[in-house]
Structure formats: structure tokens, C-alpha cells
Structure 1
Amino acid sequence: MDRWIAPGRVNLIGEHTDYNDGFVLPIALSLGVVCAVEPRADRSVRVTSAQRPGEVVEVAVDDLAVQRDRVPGWARYPLGVVHEFVRGGHPVTGVTLAVDGAVPIGAGLSSSAALCCAVTVALRDLFAPALSQRALVEIARAAENGFAGVPTGVLDQSASILCTAGHALFLDVRAFLAVDGSEPVAAEQIPFDLRAAGLTLLVADTGHPHDLADGAYAERRAQCEAAAVALGVGALRDATRTDLARLADPLLRRRATHVVTENARVLAMVEQLRVGTDPKIVGGLLTASHRSLREDFEVSTPALELAVAAAMDGGAHGARMVGGGFGGSVLALVADDVTERVTTRILERFAAASLPTPRVFAVEPADGARRLG
């Protein structure tokens, strides 16, 4: 069986802005989901996962839509991709999928998007080689939105498919979605050379997983849409700081405040990275993003707060929670010579609080989804 890999991602900055038509700046991780694929001629789909030993899910290609509710949650992601290819009229005669993921599940590092993207690029190569990268992003997102039931934007799928090693991906989501062309002209690769700057990006997986399908993520998205309606704008990307005072509902004002200020932070980060990597500026933007996610968007948790505080006490230039929130991971920008100290501080704080030992590891910008060997 041939194999494909799609990476997880960490969003440098730009959280909860993608579904508000805003700006994002992710990097792809070296950790990914590998999908071994073999075409079949019997119009059936067979899916297994190394993380689910003994489980086999098999569904007829023509029955995917009606069988959706009978499929276990994890299998809805790869089956959703197959469903999107069939809906698009691509000649999928059947396929065997064997997936194996190294991206921590529920850590806010987009394990589900990596799974969808690995299957998407595999099916593209096997059944629809003319599909553009933008079409791949749309298929992977549609699978997660529709079949899996998670109302994500395009951040995760864009990062997993479009990112390149040594760069952060600056994506103008509105322009990306509006383009009537074969390739995503609204995506720009921004050089992000950590080694040259003597810096390390640490990820601390708190071990408190989140589940974006549990309703809290959808609730935040609905609140943002309500705020946009109240302001009379197409999306919160169009709102300004001056507009925020017109929101009478304090909850909607807080949600909108995060989106408006987070978009500004993305643009400031891109401007900085284009001229270099000043750790004080980059770190300050990370920390400001976390403060906004905690106070205005209210998606942080005690474990995330503990990890951020420990990283900063250990000497990090900046730190913030990453992903949708309600659990998951923290990202910290640290000088190379204090990496061990920051890691130790995080581990010690979690031990003192009698919390599960977090997994702390360094990440670098990696390449997006591709065929292996």
C-alpha cells in the first residue's frame, strides 16, 4: 500500500479568526498522520486505525451519507473525505485506508485536520490528479464540517496542505475563499528561521484534551456571527475597535474584541517577521493573544493557565494557548539557552499541582501534506 502524510499544525497567532474571514499565521509540524491507501474495485471503503486496534469500519461507497450516524466518531473524518470526493463526481471505486497518527489527539494541534488532509491528498493522487491545492483544502474542511460535524474554518486544513518548511503561512481567509482560480493566491509563505535567531518554539501538551465537536466551539462561532449581525458587517473581520462600543451585549462585545484585536496581532506579527524575529515583539504578541483568549474569548482552562505562567516564569519571551481552547496545548517562544529551564519549570508546576505530566517538545516549521517515498 502506498502512503501519504499530512502534518498537524500549531498556529503561531490568529486564533478563532479564520471563521470570521480574518487572518491566520500557522506553521506545520513534523508530527503527522500517515495514511496507507489501496484502491478497491468493489465500491466499498474499509478503514482501520493504529490507535484503534481491532476496530474495522467498512461502508459501501454509495451508502456513506445514510450510514453516517452509525459510524464511530474517529472514522467519520476519513469517510467524510471519501464522501466529498464521491459528491464531487470523482470516480472513487472503493478504497482501503489504514491510518496511523503521531499528532496528539485533543492537544489543539489539529490531529483531525491532519487525518482529513492525509486522506484528501491520497485520494487526489489516486482518483482526481487535476485538483488544485485550494480544492483540497475545501474538501478536507467540508469533510470535517459536514460528516464529522465540527464547524471549523479553513485554518487547520490550509496549514496541513499549504505550509512549507522554514516558513509560517500567512493566510487572508476571506481572499482565499473568494479566489476563483486554481491556486490560493491569498496564501503567502513568511520566512521563520528560528535557528538563525537562537530561538526555540516549545509546545506543552497539558494532557487535558479538548473536543471541538462537543458544542463549545460552535457556540463561540455563533456568538461571533451574532456580533457581526449586530454591527451590520459581513463578518467580524470588517469591524474596527471603534465599532466595538456599539455592541450592547457585553458577552458579544468581548467575543468581538478578541477577533478584532487578534487580527491586528496577526498583521503585526507578519510585519515583524518580514524584517526579522525580534523575540520581545514576537513574544509580546503571543502573550497578548493569550490574554485575549482568556479574558475576551473565555476558552482557557486552569491547566493552560498553569502552563503559560510556568513558561513565563521560566524565562519564555512569550506564551499562549493554541487551538480552539477548552484544553489542549500551550506554545512558548524561548531562547535556546533557557529551553531546558522552561521545560523543567512546566513539569515541576504540574507535578506540584498533582496534574498529569505534560508532554513538552520543540517544534519547527515543516512541509505540508505529501506522498511518502
Structure 2
Amino acid sequence: MTSNHPATAPTTTTAIPRVGSSVSHGKTILIGEHAVVYGAPALVLPVTDVRVTATATPLPAGAEHTLRSSVHTGPVSTAPAAVLPTVTAVTATLRHLAGLGIDHAADTAFDVVVDSAVPTARGMGSSAAVAAAVTAAVADALGVDLDAATHHELIQECERVAHGRPSGLDARGVVADEPVWFETDVVEPVQLTGRFVFVVADTGVPGHTREAVAAVRARHDRAPAMVDSVVERIGGLARQARGTLVDGDAQALGATMDAAHELLSTLDVSSGDLDRLVGAARSADALGAKLTGGGRGGCVLALAADDEHAARITAALRGAGAAGTWTTSIGARAS
């Protein structure tokens, strides 16, 4: 979710720069990683409890943009390459607003502060979440509410700097309040019945998405029929999972998660660390558990029956060596 994300055209409330702010959040893939590369559908899950907050404060005339974050503090001209996507979030937003004729967009520098709880290189959309918060905060400082399409394209511009050819999964997930169905050119929210509680656990090992994607591609080149079969089955699980969300059937959703993990393991994108945490979640009677994201590191996703159950799963995951855990929920709150 973001504080600046209506489905209306950009509007201005003031022409005088002010302190702007915005909030975004992490995301994870519920079902569909790797298979989505080959045209299968995917379900993206917002992790709304793991947030990024950004503020943009106007600076005196003649100043240059500055950034304060866990990676860099100081003028953007001295920022390392690692924060170039964040710098792009500032400059691209101002360029866009200047093109619309927004006053002060071309001549105001900002001090941008980023406070992110989304871990990097864990498949939780860290770079997209930062871009979402920063772009909206800069726009807010100039009195502009970004419409959904413009906000998405600005995030994607930052993601192209970070990743080259982003699919758009992260850019959609980090601003969504509900799961997002992603299939070729169809991107739409999934309506829910009931409440679903998830635990995300970090192996402590950075994910290796590019390496894993390349390995699956190489396997597809060697054995296309096998990989295509797995892709088709994962796509089928994604469709089943969407139905279980609509129906409010947590038990059935958990079964699709377990099945998806086994299929991803056949593609050799799991790891000993991921399998250990998946096993720990299942030993705590998780309704389902799987790796999430590119794999070969990163995070696992477990489905709990309720908040109390989530606490037990969390304890089991920490006992199995999880470097960090987060609990998040989607859907209606329990009465």
C-alpha cells in the first residue's frame, strides 16, 4: 500500500514544495515463480507489515539532492551504484512532473530519507518498494497524487536501472493491498473471502535469482518437455490457489503451496537452507510452506491457521535458524 496511490489523474493541491511522505511495503510470490518466465500465471502476495517509509524535504535554492538511507547518506552525486535506482526515483519523478508543468519540479532539490524494513536480495521486492515510496514522496512534496499507471511506470523505470528487464511483478506487488494475479498482459487484484495469515522467514542467504533463472533456462534447453510439464503444473497450481483465495479455503491453499515447493525442487532452485525452513514450518503444522522468489537462498513462505498458529510457526522457524521472520495477513480481519 502507498499513501499516494489513487486511481485518478495527477492533481495538484499546492505549488509550493513541502515535506512529502509515502509508505510502501514488501511483496512475495505466493505461487508461480520461474514458471511465470515461460508464460504461466503467478500470484503475488503483498507483505503489508514489512514497510518502507520515505520523506522528501525541500532544500534551499542552489542545493543538490541528498539521500539518507542505510546504504548511503550524503549528496546523490557521491552515491554508490547500489543506490542508483533510488536516485532515479527522485530524478525521474521530477522530470515527469516538470514535463506536466508542475511548478518548482525543475528547480527544487530534496533531502530524501528512506527507512526500509524490507530486506534486500530476499525476493521481497526491496528495490521496487523503495522506488514506490520515494517516487510518491517526491510527488507529494510538490502537491501531486500520482495516478496508478504513472506510479507504476516510474517504479518500473527505477527497476530497469536495478534489474535490466523487470517483469513488473515487484512493481505491482509493493503497492497492492490484495494479492495480484499476473498472467501475460492481464494484471488484476484477487478478491478474497476470509483472512489468511502468513509467515515469511529469511534463510539468511541472499537469493540468486539470475543464477536460478539461468539454470532453469539451461535445463529447458536440454529437456524442454520436462520443464514445460513442470511449468504447466505450476500454472495449474496458481489457478487453483486463486480459487482457494476466492473461496476462503486455507487448507486447500496450503496444499497448493506444498505442491509448488516440490515442483520447484525438481527444477533445482531450492536449497538445503530453504528445505530446512520449509521442513520446520511443516513440523509446526503449517497449512503449507514453500520457497518464495528466485530460490537458492532468500525466503520461505508458510501459511498459518491463525495468529496464534503463526506464532508457533515463527518459533519453529527461528529454532531452525531463520535469520528473520515476519508475520503478515491479507483479507478481512477476524471478528
TM-score, with length taken from structure 2? 0.78
Assess, with a 3 A threshold, how the Cα gap between structure 1 residues 192 and 17 changes in structure 2: closer, same or farther: farther
Amino acid at match of 2:33: E
Query: Is structure 2 residue 118 aligned with structure 1 residue 120?
Result: no
Deviates more, 1:79-88 or 1:258-267: 79-88
The residue number in structure 2 matching 1:139 is 154
For 1:249, which of 222, 226, 248 is the aligned residue?
A: 222
The residue number in structure 2 matching 1:267 is 239
**Cα pair 2:55 2:138 within 8 Å, conserved:** no
- Deviations, residues 290-340 of structure 1 (Å, cap 9, x unaligned): 1222212x3222111100011112211210011222211111112235444
**Cα pair 1:18 1:153 within 8 Å, conserved:** no
Matched length: 303
* Distance in 2 between residues matched to 1:130 and 1:257, nearest whole Å: 45
* Distance in 1 between residues matched to 2:328 and 2:193, nearest whole Å: 12
- Deviations, residues 261-288 of structure 1 (Å, cap 9, x unaligned): 3222221111222222241x11111111
* Distance in 2 between residues matched to 1:266 and 1:43, nearest whole Å: 50
* Distance in 1 between residues matched to 2:287 and 2:88, nearest whole Å: 40
For 2:183, which of 146, 156, 172 is the aligned residue?
A: 172
The residue number in structure 2 matching 1:191 is 192
Unaligned runs of at least 5 residues, structure 2:
1-18
Query: Is structure 2 residue 51 aligned with structure 1 residue 32?
Result: yes
**Cα pair 1:80 1:144 within 8 Å, conserved:** no
The residue number in structure 2 matching 1:76 is 84
Amino acid at match of 1:191: L
* Distance in 1 between residues matched to 2:197 and 2:292, nearest whole Å: 16
Unaligned runs of at least 5 residues, structure 1:
60-69, 176-185, 228-247, 351-356, 367-373
- Helix, strand or coil: the match of 2:285? coil
Query: Is structure 2 residue 330 aligned with structure 1 residue 365?
Result: yes
* Distance in 2 between residues matched to 1:15 and 1:128, nearest whole Å: 38
- Deviation for aligned residue 1:104: 2.3
The alignment-based identity, stated in percent, is 23
* Distance in 2 between residues matched to 1:79 and 1:259, nearest whole Å: 37
Assess, with a 3 A threshold, how the Cα gap between structure 1 residues 319 and 150 changes in structure 2: closer, same or farther: farther
* Distance in 2 between residues matched to 1:134 and 1:20, nearest whole Å: 25
For 1:308, which of 259, 267, 278 is the aligned residue?
A: 278
The residue number in structure 1 matching 2:203 is 206
The residue number in structure 2 matching 1:285 is 256
**Cα pair 2:128 2:158 within 8 Å, conserved:** no
Query: Is structure 2 residue 64 aligned with structure 1 residue 44?
Result: yes
Amino acid at match of 1:204: A
* Distance in 1 between residues matched to 2:142 and 2:39, nearest whole Å: 31
Query: Is structure 2 residue 112 aligned with structure 1 residue 97?
Result: yes
Deviates more, 1:27-36 or 1:70-79: 70-79
